[in-house]
Amino acid sequence: MDIVIFGANGPTGRLAVQRALDEGHTVTAVTRSPGSFPFAHPALRVEQGDVFDAGSVLRVTAGQDAVLSALGVPYSRREITTYSAGAQAMLAAMQAHGIRRLVCVSSSAVDPGAGPHGGVFFEHVLQPFVMRFLGRTLYDDMKRMEGIVSASDTGWTVLRPSGPFDAEAVSDYQVAERYLPQTFTARIDLADALVRQLDDRRFLRTTAAVGTVSGTPTVARLMMREAFKRPPVAERVG
């Protein structure tokens, strides 16, 4: 299958590109900084693109069978529009080219009412602090993205990971509609789930939670590290 991946130069995007190549897909990796993409492959094409540039999105989606979005930006007190603008640009390009399949990454924090993801400290202290202060503008835009995507007539799936962390290999992770109790999601598990949605029709036109079951870190250590780290500029949008 020919697929295009937006946010391909971010930490999850790079893993998704590699997983897609491992599965035999032909991949167009879209990044604002093609020169910083870390690897090459005969079935990989790295293209410059920006979701705020509708023309570039239209160009890189031509000839594709599916669109995957691993867009990601750091927390900011300023308004964030990357997710919603990206959804609009990708959907417009998909309509223009007749592409039906869209899979994008959101967050379990968008829907905290879906169920608990941790103990008392996580539920009543850490999560509210991250959502209301550190990540408010980010999660607000993810909600806008989900609304835009779910209102479309495409074959969409929204994946919602919980606290992201790095792991060496794909684990026996879980995927379920809307909610899982797991507090963490390994980025490599999320990348694997993102690619597998190309053939998995169970979560067509719905949201699906992705959770890592084993080898996870502690709540406080992971969440505080993720909240305060600043990724390199080239990885912020991918």
- 113-138: per-residue pLDDT in tens? 777 766 665 565 556 656 666 789 99
| Per-residue model confidence (pLDDT) at position 130 | 61
Residue 119 maps to a domain: yes
> CB neighbours (10 Å) of residue 48?
14
| Per-residue model confidence (pLDDT) at position 235 | 37
| Per-residue model confidence (pLDDT) at position 163 | 87
User: Is residue 47 within 8 Å of residue 34, measured between CB atoms?
Assistant: yes
How many domains does the chain fold into? 1
Label residue 232 by pLDDT band (50, 70, 90): very low
Residue 77 maps to a domain: yes
- What is the total residue count of the chain? 238
Residue 135 maps to a domain: yes
Higher pLDDT, 226 or 65: 65
Residue 120 maps to a domain: yes
Residue range 204-210: average pLDDT?
Answer: 98
- At 17, give phi and psi (nearest 5°): -60, -45
Domain of residue 39, residue span: 2-233
Q: How far is CA 195 from the centre of its chain?
A: 11
Residue 7 maps to a domain: yes
| Per-residue model confidence (pLDDT) at position 101 | 98
Q: Is 98 exposed, middle or buried (0-12, 13-18, 19+ CB in 10 A)?
A: exposed
Residue 216 maps to a domain: yes
Q: What is the pLDDT of residues 72-95, one digit of tens each?
A: 999 888 999 999 999 999 999 999
CATH code, 137: 3.40.50.720
Residue 161 maps to a domain: yes
Lowest-pLDDT choice from 30-44, 48-62, 100-114, 184-198: 100-114
Residue 238 maps to a domain: no
Residues whose CB falls within 8 Å of the CB of residue 120, separated by 6 or more in sequence, listed in order: none
Question: Residue 236: pLDDT above 50?
Answer: no
Higher pLDDT, 191 or 120: 191
pTM: 0.89
| Per-residue model confidence (pLDDT) at position 118 | 65
